[in-house]
C-alpha cells in the first residue's frame, strides 16, 4: 500500500523533471556563465582566458559610449512607456465602461493587438522605407508644400529617436490594453454599484476602486515592460546603420553589447560585463517596483 503511494508520488517528479533540467541548462547556466565571463578577458579568437577581476566594469564606467547607451535606453523606454500605460488606461476604461457600451469590443482589441504580431525586422524595414530620403513621407511633404526639399529624417537625432519611441509604443500598446482590460473586467461590479449609491463620481471610483485593485496587474505590466525596455535591440539596430546613429542617439545597452561581441577580436568578457550591469540595473528597478506597489498593511 505504502509502496504504491510512494511510487505514485515519484511520477510528479518525473513530470516536472524536463522543465527543471531545461531551466538549469538554458536558464540558470547562461546567467552563471555570463557572470563568470564578465570577470575574464575572454575573446572569440583565443582559447584561454585570464581572470581580470573588475577591470571590464571599470572600463565600462569610464566609457562614454556605455553611459550614453544607459541614458538612451532609459530615455527611450520612459518616453514610450508613460504614454503607453496612460493611453492604455483611458482606452481600457472606455472599452469596459457599462455607460458607454461600445460595440465590437473584441474587434477593437484585435486591431490594437495586431502590431504586436508583426516581426520587428519587418516593422523596422517598413519605417526605414517610409522615412528614407526618397520615401513616401518626403514625397508627400514636398508635394503638399510642407517642405521645400526632402529631409534626411534618419540623420536627425530628434526624428530618429522619436521614431523608435513611436514604434515601441505602437507595437506594445495593444498588449498593454488587453492586460489592463482583463484586470478591469475582473473587478466585481458590486463595488462600483455600491459606490454609485453612495454618490461617488467616475473619477473617485477610478481612483478609489479601479487603481488599488489593479496593483497586481500594474506590477506585471511595469516589470515586463522594464525588462523588455532594457533589452531593446532590434528596432533601433535595424532602423539605422546598426550603431545607433545619428550621433549614437538610439544606441542602447544591447546594441553596445553586440558591438563589443562582434568587434574585430570579439570581446566576450567585455560584452558579458554589459549584460551583467543591465541585469543588475533591471533587478534593482524591478525590486523597487515591487516595493512601491506592494500591498500596504
Domain limits of the chain? 65-292
Cis-peptide, bond into residue 246, ω within 30° of zero: yes
For the whole model, what pTM was predicted? Answer: 0.86
Residues 176/85, Cβ–Cβ less than 8 Å: yes
Which residues are 40's β-sheet partners? 51
The CA distance from 241 to 135, in Å, is: 17
- Residue-wise pLDDT tens for the chain (297 aa)? 455 555 666 777 888 899 999 999 998 999 999 999 999 988 887 778 888 888 999 988 888 888 898 999 999 999 999 999 999 999 998 888 877 788 888 899 889 999 989 888 899 989 999 998 888 999 999 999 888 888 888 888 888 999 999 999 999 999 999 999 999 988 888 888 888 888 888 788 888 888 889 998 999 999 999 999 998 988 998 887 655 577 888 888 888 888 888 776 778 888 999 999 999 999 999 999 988 887 775
The CA distance from 237 to 101, in Å, is: 42
The CATH architecture assigned to 65-292 reads: Orthogonal Bundle (1.10)
Q: What are the C-alpha distances in Å from 280 to residues 51, 274, 284, 287?
A: 21, 10, 6, 11
Amino acid at each position: 500500500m505504502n509502496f504504491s503511494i510512494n511510487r505514485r508520488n515519484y511520477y510528479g517528479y518525473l513530470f516536472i523533471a524536463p522543465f527543471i533540467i531545461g531551466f538549469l541548462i538554458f536558464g540558470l547556466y547562461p546567467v552563471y556563465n555570463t557572470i563568470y565571463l564578465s570577470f575574464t578577458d575572454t575573446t572569440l579568437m583565443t582559447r584561454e582566458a585570464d581572470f581580470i577581476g573588475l577591470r571590464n566594469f571599470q572600463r565600462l564606467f569610464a566609457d562614454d559610449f556605455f553611459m550614453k547607451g544607459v541614458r538612451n535606453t532609459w530615455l527611450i523606454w520612459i518616453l514610450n512607456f508613460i504614454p503607453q500605460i496612460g493611453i492604455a488606461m483611458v482606452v481600457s476604461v472606455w472599452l469596459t465602461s457599462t455607460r458607454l457600451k461600445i460595440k465590437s469590443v473584441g474587434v477593437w482589441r484585435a486591431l490594437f493587438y495586431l502590431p504586436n504580431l508583426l516581426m520587428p525586422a519587418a516593422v523596422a524595414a517598413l519605417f526605414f522605407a517610409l522615412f528614407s530620403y526618397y520615401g513616401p513621407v518626403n514625397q508627400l511633404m514636398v508635394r503638399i508644400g510642407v517642405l521645400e526639399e526632402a529631409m534626411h529624417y534618419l540623420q536627425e537625432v530628434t526624428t530618429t529617436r522619436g521614431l523608435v519611441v513611436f514604434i515601441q509604443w505602437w507595437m506594445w500598446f495593444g498588449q498593454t490594453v488587453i492586460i489592463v482590460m482583463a484586470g478591469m473586467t475582473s473587478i466585481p461590479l458590486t463595488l462600483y454599484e455600491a459606490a454609485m449609491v453612495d454618490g461617488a463620481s467616475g473619477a473617485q471610483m477610478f481612483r478609489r476602486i479601479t487603481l488599488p485593485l489593479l496593483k497586481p496587474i500594474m506590477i506585471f505590466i511595469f516589470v515586463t515592460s522594464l525588462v523588455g525596455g532594457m533589452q531593446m535591440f532590434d528596432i533601433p539596430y535595424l532602423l539605422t546603420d546598426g550603431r545607433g546613429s545619428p550621433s549614437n542617439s538610439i544606441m542602447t545597452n544591447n546594441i553596445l553589447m553586440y558591438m563589443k561581441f562582434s568587434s574585430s577580436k570579439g570581446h566576450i568578457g567585455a560584452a558579458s560585463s554589459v549584460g551583467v550591469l543591465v541585469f543588475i540595473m533591471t533587478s534593482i528597478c524591478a525590486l523597487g517596483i515591487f516595493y512601491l506597489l506592494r500591498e500596504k498593511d
